[in-house]
Amino acid sequence: MPELRFDQRVAVITGAGRGLGRAYALLLASKGAKVVVNDPGGSLKGAGIDAGPAEQVVREIKAAGGEAIACTESVATPAGGNAIIQAAFDTYGRIDILIHNAGNVRPGTLKEMSYEDFDAVLDVHLRGAFHVVRPAFPRMCAAGYGRVVLTSSIGGLYGNVRVANYGAAKAGLIGLSNVIALEGAAEGVRCNLIVPGAVTRMAEGIDTSAYPPMTSEMVAPVVAWLAHEACNISGEMLVSIAGRIARAFVAESPGVYQDAWTAETVAEHMDAIRNAHTPVIFPVLPSGHIDHIRYAFAMTAGAGSSKTQAH
């Protein structure tokens, strides 16, 4: 297979000063992309500004013969998100790829988590994604081309303790990605989620001594493919952890139909309701939302009932 290159493509990568984002930036630049390396350089909690990390990545890219600029604006505000995308246009005149990787961590149990810490994490992960997607998406649509990669987490898929803010944000990104994929389908814009696992500074405080190799560089090729014009999927989630790449998706059990239910009959049928031996999958594209409703309606019609409800 010929090398997948990004010559003449412009990529904006948030959180690209360290860890995963840095690996993405270096890989795409090595394949010809012009990269906007966005990172305010703050602490894990999102405090402070340090241009050093973004500028260091730019130096590495240029030293290897690539093109890049640093941008230290924060995704946490609409103005910051707009400035990040505008930096691509001011320097390169376009945007082809948007990878939202920026993140912060403010752990705490549900009993102790402050509203400030909850909002601060959503501001970077979830609202931050919208803050950069909102100015980038219409421009991609106008150009008839775009690749958007958002970052979810197994914490968003399955949850974890002491990170209600993080889990909620990462789960929210699934819904946002799906809408981008649906609205971009006719415009040449594709959007997918990466669900990465790597030992970065976000793993501080965790004993990783027994972990297999889990580097950011192991995840980067998956993101590069999602960001490439050859990517032929949209509205999907790819997992990359310790060398394993997989597709994650939402599935349902086939379900049980009755024309009327009581709390007692729900209890009686719960084993059958939960039986996922033959799961049902409704891919986001082309019409997962509608397909889900049609599936339920078909069960109703098959039972000869004229009563239908959709929620």
Catalytic residue among 166, 211, 257, 295: 166
Is 166 a residue of the active site?
yes
As to burial, measured by CB atoms within 10 angstroms (0-12 exposed, 13-18 middle, 19+ buried), residue 65 is exposed
Catalytic sites, residue numbers: 166
